[in-house]
Amino acid sequence: EVQLVESGGGLIKPGGSLRLSCVVSGFTFTNAWMNWVRQAPGKGLEWVGRIKSKIDGGTTDYAAPVKGRFTLSRDDSKSTLYLQMNSLKTEDTAVYFCVTEWFDPWGPGTLVTVSS
């Protein structure tokens, strides 16, 4: 069974940094392209970024609102995806989900609250 579990969220002040993790199991993580998607409280879903598998170049792409502030990375030996978030803004407050390239399944997400 494919499982994804996000962690690392919390309360952080504007301008601060946070690193989210997503541990996956049940499939070959090495070959997977992975995404982060976020959902602000009471709002819809927003794609944040994507990282390709290393064999496909390992390159990253980001949504415009987070480009230059967020960085995706992966540790294939640990089947873990990371999202380094810097210069956080109040509008980054959301539940952050990691998902595969097929957007199925979804983990429980981790809540990031940016507030002074």
Partner 1 sequence: DVVMTQSPLSLPVTLGQPASISCRSSQSLVYSDGNIYLNWFHQRPGQSPRRLIYKVSNRDSWVPDRFSGSGSGTDFTLKISRVEAEDVGVYYCMQGTHWPSTFGGGTKVEIK
Contact residues for partner 1, defined by CB under 8 A:
35, 44-47, 50, 61, 63, 97, 102-109
Q: Cα(84)–Cα(17) distance, rounded to whole angstroms?
A: 7
> In Å, what is the CA distance from 95 to each residue of 26, 36, 53, 78?
23, 10, 24, 23
CB 57 within 8 A of CB 66: no
CB 15 within 8 A of CB 87: yes
Of the pair 13, 61, the CB lying nearest partner 1 is at 61
Q: What is the smallest separation between the CB atom of 116 and partner 1, expressed in angstroms?
A: 27
Q: What is the smallest separation between the CB atom of 25 and partner 1, expressed in angstroms?
A: 16
Q: Cα(108)–Cα(3) distance, rounded to whole angstroms?
A: 10
Of the pair 56, 61, the CB lying nearest partner 1 is at 61
Of the pair 50, 116, the CB lying nearest partner 1 is at 50
Q: What is the smallest separation between the CB atom of 44 and partner 1, expressed in angstroms?
A: 5
